[in-house]
Amino acid sequence: GAVVSQHPSWVICKSGTSVKIECRSLDFQATTMFWYRQFPKQSLMLMATSNEGSKATYEQGVEKDKFLINHASLTLSTLTVTSAHPEDSSFYICSVRAGTGQETQYFGPGTRLLVL
């Protein structure tokens, strides 16, 4: 399977600041990446689909101005949580779709965000 990394693995920030999370596909080129958030003891909620070279597609209820996604290359997508607030504290996980026509997603290790 594909190897996916995320950086940072955890971050603590003050309310009102912005935080950038990176998702890298280490061993293949990913045209599509996904961003999820997961609250404690809950399932994963898809936030957006990140497409290389084009605008991300956000799920209903997800604020695109709040969660900025950039997929500038085939190996890197970034999620920026702008003006973070305590309610944005969560576990953010990215995944990559394994190649053209492949349905399988491979997940990164996640980034835990705590906003004080």
Partner 1 sequence: AQSVTQPDIHITVSEGASLELRCNYSYGATPYLFWYVQSPGQGLQLLLKYFSGDTLVQGIKGFEAEFKRSQSSFNLRKPSVHWSDAAEYFCAVGAGIRTYKYIFGTGTRLKVLA
What does the alpha-carbon distance between residue 59 and residue 67 come to, in Å, rounded to a whole number? 11
Question: Smallest distance, Å, CB 83 to partner 1?
Answer: 26
Question: Smallest distance, Å, CB 103 to partner 1?
Answer: 5
Question: Smallest distance, Å, CB 76 to partner 1?
Answer: 17
Q: What is the DSSP string of the chain?
A: ---EEEE-SEEEE-TT--EEEEEEESSS--SEEEEEEE-TTS-EEEEEEEETTS--EEPTT--TTTEEEEEEETTEEEEEE-S--GGG-EEEEEEEE-STT---EEE---EEEEE-
Question: Smallest distance, Å, CB 89 to partner 1?
Answer: 14
**Which positions lie near partner 1, rule CB under 8 A?**
1, 4, 6, 32, 34, 41-44, 46, 49, 91, 93, 95, 97, 103-110, 112
- Of the pair 39, 85, the CB lying nearest partner 1 is at 39
Structure tokens of 13? Answer: 């920030």
